[in-house]
Structure 1
Amino acid sequence: MSTTPRERPDRIRWHRPLIALAIASALVSATAIVGLVVDPRELVGAPVWAKALKFGLSILIYAVTWAWLIGQLRRFRRIAWWAGTVIAVTLILELGIITLQVARGHRSHYNNANPLDETLWSIMGTAIMVLWLATLVAAVVLWFTPGRDGARTLAVRAGSVLSLVGLGLGFLMTLPTDAQLAAESDIIGAHTVGAEDGGPGLPILGWSTEHGDLRIPHFIGMHALQLIPLALILIELAAARVAVFRSLRTRVGLVWTVTAGYAGVVALVTWQALRGQSIVHPDALTLTAGGAISVAVAAGILLSLAGGRRERTRAADASREDAIASPR
């Protein structure tokens, strides 16, 4: 028997401009990997192609996530499509300028050394502001579009809000430092706090191992859009074996706990970076704050599981009472 159109499950309509951005990002990432192998140049203390690789991979993940989320919407599709298209255009501009500057051996961010560098950085700065606004519109649309259940709805909403916060934290890196103002430097802005950019950093990521680094909260916050829904996916997979995870109350509670803990981590690493402290050398204050976040998350997990068990117990009791009360 043939299936009528109404009975067919809705298919995800992937946002094509964002998928095109993802493909471009993958190509840039592949080119950067080749560049890391064959091009020995360095820029600001790191291989010249390292930034193109990091941005390419990050934008690839970001583009695919938004293409998927927008493709699932059943309301406000036109608004979401335009917001996604603006996101794609702004990020392709940023990725293109980064790649061009890498090929030239020039800094892409904060660079006002000559008219071309200044123009390219100005374009990037404008694109970043437009990107944030377009992401805000897309996040608002997601907020008013409920998911299949309360846990999924909360995970997507929380991830989009924290992602906006992470994007916004990037603007801290565009502010001139006192040293730059005093020296009237051609470089206006920095990601390192307490020293000039370019010191020792973590492998691959490049985050400073000696000073504060504002790229850390920017990166962690921005990718809440992927990590919080991923946490829910893992919880849902666990539900196949652990009965308490089948409770919607438990899943919602756990998503709230993950969200609160994630927000706490973003706040902690932002505070740490602004104090000029390296992510790998936390002081007693940072460790104490991190410990408090861990304790709060553990408590939230326990409360969520306890709430789910109570819900299942009440449901089982009600089922038994109905069985007793029902005539045979």
Structure 2
Amino acid sequence: MTETKGYFGQFGGSFVPEPIQALLDELEATFEKYKDDPEFLNEYRHYLVDYSGRETPLYFAESLTQHLGGAKIYLKREDLNHLGSHKLNNVLGQILLAKRMGKTRVIAETGAGQHGVATAAAAAKFGMKCDVYMGAEDVERQRLNVFRMEMMGATVHAVETGTKTLKDAVDAAFRAWMSDLEAFYVLGSAVGPHPYPTIVHEFQKVISEESRRQILDKEGRLPDYVIACVGGGSNAIGAFSQYVADEEVKLVGVEAAGRGLDTDQHAATMTKGSVGVVDGMKTYVVFAEDGQVAPVYSISAGL
């Protein structure tokens, strides 16, 4: 629960320059106006069904269950969404907000490229110009997703600063936004200044709305565990959302341990990080000895 507007316990908030804060206030007002508006929700749900292909199945992983010999394992198949990930759930919601705000250009950051692909597709559908910022290293690792973004008309900017990964792409996208305050920033993770984490939660909670109903239909009870990978948090916040009040359901987030938690080459921010302010929010951060944000490591692009 949000204890103070924009905060989740001690985390969250909005630590941004004044021009950006004015845009965030406008975005929050628009979101609050439309998030429960029947016409907006009908349009959003229409595109979730007819464009994205929801609902996604909850699949019983029979072979994996037998191989492990313990838990009965179900997989929520978000990979069967149009474009191959859960990212479109949130992008469609934010693009529809942008449309109501009269925006004609969107800016996005991307790591592995799935959020960029979803933003490029939705921008093309609604006739908006799209600029995606992606770390140069991730561009090389995820050439196929770069091709997909460009095929749908987006301009992909390879960011050469820092570690040339997601953190630097976010910084570059924010700078681009400050140079064009008429654009709309489509943020794909449960990060950044308020109201973005709240917005991402609102448009990703469909994952657990569906899975909760599906598991009750299949098993007649709630699961013992809900397990989700945690990078930027959009998948996890969607997977966990509708189970938070169920004390009997254990929620487990899995971070990238890289080459080991006892090394400096991992991406386990919540497990090994400390509290700081980065990218406009108060959060856990992996800091280097000099107090700068450390270059984390994972075999996965974009973490």
- Give the TM bin, normalised by the shorter chain: under 0.3
**Structure with greater strand share of residues:** 2
**Structure with greater helix share of residues:** 1
